[in-house]
């Protein structure tokens, strides 16, 4: 008989339509589903973005990101230990710089003892085997919240590039393993590569925020690092228009040529098509940043009982793997890693 029909084979209408091809055979049991599963999420896919504040022994909650905290460096070291124990390969650090250290040009980004570099040193010392990924964009350090130097209402490209290339060397001196520039200035990848090499940092990699879109999904992050209230205007003269896909491919092509080791797409879920195109086009290690807005939307809907938060979290991350990602920056990292370890 045909599967599940009770009819002799070939005598029922569905068999006539499908020609005996039935997709449900491979879905019939847990073991068949496991055998044919094409993509899997593992702890090796996770990069955990953490927020830093100065001081000691303090954690601050972030209203727009329930479950995420700003950490003093000593607390960040504790969390780095926990992450390493869970098997999370790397952390990405983002500082909330005190307002008196912010200025027009983001000059504190060049201080070798600033919060990012202090955290890198402390984490590397206590947990040498966890990867540290640092951002060189100026937004945590500028009084206007832009990623570059602002003059007469313009973000200066070339001046910004030379400053972030210097900041990259200082971050590498502190022990950063991968420089991840999120500023979207033209020519930054090549300039950072050259500066790192000249300083003897040939083994420090570059994960380019290759396609960073001018997105509304960054809102909660701006509360986390305290740029939300500062930002004048928007970032559309340097981030990519969410409407554009070919432009994203051309942007990524430049970063590959200039020496990027890894590409990132940001935000993540609304841009799965971009991830798939970049992976197909460049065959580079490709990452997604599941940004603050994506995180908070899942948390908020789950808190209201509108979705199953745990299931949606796992599905959202698996979708990145299916789209072609090698890894994902996600605020869910420790929670997912804990879940995966229990399976």
The annotation places the binding site at 251
Residue 212 is a catalytic residue: yes
Segment near ligand PBG (CB under 6 A), from 9-17, 122-130, 195-203, 215-223?
215-223
Catalytic residue among 235, 266, 279, 321: 266
Query: Residue 304 class from Cβ within 10 Å (0-12 exposed, 13-18 middle, 19+ buried)?
Result: exposed
Q: Which residues pair with 266 in a beta bridge?
A: 212
- At its nearest, how many Å lie between ligand PBG and the CB of residue 251? 16
The verdict on whether 28 is a catalytic residue reads: no
Q: Which of 291, 323, 333, 340 binds ligand PBG (CB under 6 A)?
A: 291
Half-sphere exposure of 158 toward its Cβ, with a 13 Å CA cutoff?
0
Among 15, 118, 147, 177, binds ligand PBG (CB under 6 A): 147
Residues 183-202 that bind ligand PBG (CB under 6 A): 183
> Closest CB to ligand PBG belongs to which residue?
221
Q: Whole-angstrom Cα distance, residue 47 to residue 330?
A: 6
Closest distance of CB 32 from ligand PBG, Å: 38
CA–CA separation, 264 and 179 (whole Å) = 12
CB of 200 to ligand PBG, least distance (A): 27
Instruction: Name the phi and psi angles at 330, rounded to 5.
Output: -150, 135
Q: By CB under 6 A, tell whether 255 contacts ligand PBG.
A: no
Task: For residue 200, count CB atoms less than 10 angstroms from its CB and return exposed for 0-12, middle for 13-18, buried for 19 or more.
Answer: exposed
Contact between 182 and ligand PBG (CB under 6 A)? yes
* Of 55 and 233, CB closest to ligand PBG: 233
Return all residues near 148 (Cβ < 8 A) that are at least 6 apart. 138, 155, 156, 157, 159, 160, 183, 185, 238
The verdict on 51 binding ligand PBG (CB under 6 A) reads no
Q: Which of 81, 124, 151, 212 is catalytic?
A: 212
What would you measure as the largest C-alpha separation in the chain, in angstroms? 81
SS3 32: helix
Whole-number minimum distance, CB 288 to ligand PBG, in Å? 11
Instruction: Please give the positions annotated as active site.
Output: 212, 266
| Residues near ligand PBG, by CB under 6 A | 135, 137, 139, 147, 182-183, 218, 221-222, 227, 235, 291-292
């Amino acid at each position: 008989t045909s599967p599940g029909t009770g009819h002799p084979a070939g005598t029922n209408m569905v068999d006539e339509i499908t020609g005996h091809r039935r997709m449900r055979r491979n879905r019939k049991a847990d073991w068949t589903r496991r055998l044919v599963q094409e993509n899997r999420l593992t702890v090796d896919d996770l990069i955990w973005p953490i927020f830093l504040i100065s001081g000691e022994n303090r954690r601050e909650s972030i209203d727009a990101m329930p479950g995420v905290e700003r950490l003093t460096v000593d607390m960040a070291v504790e969390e780095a230990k926990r992450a390493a124990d869970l098997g999370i390969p790397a952390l990405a650090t983002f500082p909330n710089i005190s307002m008196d250290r912010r200025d027009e040009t983001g000059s504190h980004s060049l201080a070798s003892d600033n919060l990012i570099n202090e955290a890198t040193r402390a984490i590397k010392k206590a947990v040498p085997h966890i990867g540290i990924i640092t951002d060189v964009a100026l937004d945590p350090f500028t009084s206007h919240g832009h990623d570059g130097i602002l003059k007469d209402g313009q973000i200066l490209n070339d001046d910004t590039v030379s400053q972030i290339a210097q900041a990259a060397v200082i971050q590498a001196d502190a022990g950063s393993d991968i420089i991840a520039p999120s500023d979207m200035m033209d020519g930054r990848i090549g300039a950072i590569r050259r500066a790192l090499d000249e300083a003897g940092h040939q083994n420090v990699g570059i994960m380019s925020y290759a396609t960073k879109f001018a997105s509304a999904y960054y809102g909660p992050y701006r509360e986390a690092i305290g740029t939300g209230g500062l930002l004048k205007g928007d970032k559309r003269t340097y981030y990519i228009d969410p409407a554009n896909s070919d432009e994203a491919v051309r942007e990524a092509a430049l970063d590959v040529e200039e020496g990027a080791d890894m590409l990132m797409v940001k935000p993540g879920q609304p841009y799965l098509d971009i991830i798939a195109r970049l992976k197909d086009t460049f065959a580079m290690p490709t990452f997604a940043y599941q940004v603050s807005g994506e995180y908070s939307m899942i948390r908020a809907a789950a808190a209201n009982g509108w979705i199953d938060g745990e299931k949606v979290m796992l599905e959202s991350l698996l979708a990145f793997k299916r789209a072609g990602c090698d890894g994902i920056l996600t605020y869910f990292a420790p929670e997912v890693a804990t879940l995966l370890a229990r399976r």
